[in-house]
Amino acid sequence: MTAVDPLRLATTEDPVPPRVRLRTEQPAPTIASRRSSGARIHEARPTVFDIRDMSVYYGPNRALMGTSFRIYRNLVTAVIGPSGCGKSTFIRTLNRMNDSIPGFRVTGQVLYHGHDVYGSAVNRVEVRRRIGMVFQKPNPFPKSIYDNVAWAPRNLGLRKDLDLRVERALQRAALWDEVKDRLRVSALSLSGGQQQRLCIARAIAVEPDVLLLDEPASALDPVSTAAIEDLMHSLKARYTIVIVTHNMQQAARVADRTAFFSLDRAERVGTLIEEDDTDTIFRNPRDTRTRDYVTGQFG
Ligand code: ADP
């Protein structure tokens, strides 16, 4: 537990606001060393989200039932499963992105660094700042490249060293070299892949702790997709990443941990079947439903 509630922190003029510090972070073991020791990749890593028996409803309809699992610091966790099993619902529930949908309701608990994201005293703006999100379709604002990245810091009153903040976000999103000479041109003039990296820069400009990516490459060509995947490998040193993907090869390429969701046959509602190290989910899953899905035999 941190000394201050991370969801109620006041905004700050510090260009690098305090993040929840790692005390016990260890370098990830290699796959070979994990296999020989039986250790799991997340061991010794702090928990970022502890999701406990979470069910999600839209009005009378339950979209997800009884979901419990943990998401660990500085790892990429992929969420996979067939269409309609609640992958987007799940990821959007982590930062209260569904709050404005009439009838949306969550039961159980979503603990973020030990604090209930749906607690009554929680500051939703702070939740969104700490837990950033990038969507399937690149959605830059019809503003300049610079103003897109500066938008959230300005809104939060983080005006000090804004140029530095914008540059750093664009560098971390691997876009700086391509746009540094045209920061004042419209973001809409960028290619689709560049626009998506701009959206990632926009999300990280306020120094979040977590990045939620909802099928971030599904609208992109293979070269742009590879750039986004490369980016995830570099970003996870700094951020905890949760990615929804319908592309299993992508999950295998980018994710340390993978959660497989499916539709419960009896209740026709989304449910977590299993989650584990990605290697285990793809090579040695516990549940036959996971095996059928990852081997393409899902009916
Ligand atoms: P996935 O991302 O796995 O395709 P979704 O989370 O989009 O699944 O959808 C899970 C279920 O929740 C579906 O039955 C879908 O119809 C329902 N659902 C999703 N969004 C809404 C919404 N805004 N209002 C009502 N039902 C929704």
Residue 201 sits in a domain whose CATH number is 3.40.50.300
Residue nearest to atom 21 of ligand 1 (CA): 58
84 CB within 6 A, ligand 1 = yes
190 domain-assigned: yes
From the CA atom positions of the chain, what is the Rg in Å? 19
15 domain-assigned: no
Domain count, the chain: 1
Question: What pLDDT is recorded for position 135?
Answer: 95
Cα angle for residues 290, 30, 47 (degrees, 5° grid):
65
CA dihedral sign of residues 125, 129, 135, 138: positive
**Distance of CA 267 from the midpoint of ligand 1 (Å):** 15
13 domain-assigned: no
Query: CA-to-CA distance for 299 and 269, rounded, in angstroms?
Result: 16
Question: What pLDDT is recorded for position 8?
Answer: 57
35 domain-assigned: no
245 CB within 6 A, ligand 1 = no
Mutation pick for ligand 1 pocket among 55, 80, 88 (CB with most ligand atoms within 8 Å): 88
Contact in structure between 219 and 227 (CB atoms under 8 Å)? no
14 domain-assigned: no
60 domain-assigned: yes
Question: What pLDDT is recorded for position 7?
Answer: 62
Parent domain of 123: 41-294
17 domain-assigned: no
63 CB within 6 A, ligand 1 = yes
pTM for this model (two decimals):
0.88
249 domain-assigned: yes
Query: CA-to-CA distance for 199 and 216, rounded, in angstroms?
Result: 10
85 CB within 6 A, ligand 1 = yes
Give me the tens of pLDDT residue by residue for the chain, a chain 299 residues long. Answer: 344 455 653 333 333 333 333 233 344 444 444 555 667 787 788 999 999 999 999 999 999 999 999 999 999 999 999 999 999 999 999 999 999 999 999 999 999 999 999 998 899 989 999 999 999 999 999 999 999 999 999 999 998 999 999 999 999 999 999 999 999 999 999 999 999 999 999 999 999 999 999 999 999 999 999 999 999 999 999 999 999 999 999 999 999 999 999 998 888 899 999 999 999 999 999 999 999 999 987 64
